[in-house]
Amino acid sequence: MITTVTLNTSIDKAYSIEGDLEVGTVMRVTSCIDNAGGKGLNASRAVATAGEDVVATGFVGGNNGRLLCELLEADGISQEFVQVDSETRCCINVLEPSGRSTEFLEPGRPVTNDDLARLAAKVRELALRSSVVTFSGSAPKGVSTGVYATLIEQAKIAGASVILDTSGDLLARGIEAKPTMVKPNTDEIAQLLGRTVSTPEEVVDAAREMHTSGIDQVVVSLGSKGALMACEDGVFQGTPPKIDVVNPVGSGDTMVGTFAAAMARGLSPVEQLRFAMACATANCLTPSTGHFDLETADRLAEGVRIEQVG
Ligand SMILES: Nc1ncnc2c1ncn2[C@@H]1O[C@H](COP(=O)(O)OP(=O)(O)OP(=O)(O)O)[C@@H](O)[C@H]1O
Ligand SMILES: [Mg+2]
Q: Check if CATH label 3.40.1190.20 holds for domain 1-21+29-129.
A: yes
Q: How far is the CA of 2 from the centre of ligand 1 (A)?
A: 22
What pLDDT, on the 0 to 100 scale, is given for residue 140? 96
Q: How far is the CA of 226 from the centre of ligand 1 (A)?
A: 7
Q: What is the pLDDT of residues 168-190, one digit of tens each?
A: 999 999 999 999 999 999 999 99
What pLDDT, on the 0 to 100 scale, is given for residue 253? 97
CATH of 180-310, one of 1.10.490.10, 3.40.50.300, 3.30.50.10, 3.40.1190.20: 3.40.1190.20
Residue 288 has pLDDT above 90, yes or no: no
Q: How far is the CA of 302 from the centre of ligand 2 (A)?
A: 24
What pLDDT, on the 0 to 100 scale, is given for residue 287? 80
Name the pLDDT band for 130 (thresholds 50, 70, 90): very high
Q: Which residues surround ligand 2, an ion (CB under 5 A)?
A: 252
Q: What is the pTM of this model?
A: 0.96
Residue nearest to atom 14 of ligand 1 (CA): 252
Q: What is the 3-class SS of the chain, one letter each residue?
A: CEEEEECCCEEEEEEEECCCCCCCCCCCEEEEEEEEECHHHHHHHHHHHHCCCEEEEEEEEHHHHHHHHHHHHHCCCEECCEEECCCCEEEEEEECCCCCEEEEECCCCCCCHHHHHHHHHHHHHHHHCCCEEEEECCCCCCCCCCHHHHHHHHHHHCCCEEEEECCHHHHHHHHHHCCCEECCEHHHHHHHHCCCCCCHHHHHHHHHHHHHCCCCEEEEECHHHCEEEEECCEEEEEECCCCCCCCCCCHHHHHHHHHHHHHHCCCCHHHHHHHHHHHHHHHCCCCCCCCCCHHHHHHHHCCCEEEECC
What pLDDT, on the 0 to 100 scale, is given for residue 247? 85
Residue 291 has pLDDT above 90, yes or no: no
42 lines ligand 1 (CB under 6 A): no
Name the pLDDT band for 296 (thresholds 50, 70, 90): very high
Q: Where in the chain is the domain with CATH 3.40.1190.20?
A: 1-21+29-129, 180-310
Residue nearest to atom 5 of ligand 1 (CA): 281
Q: Mean pLDDT in the chain?
A: 96
What pLDDT, on the 0 to 100 scale, is given for residue 128? 98
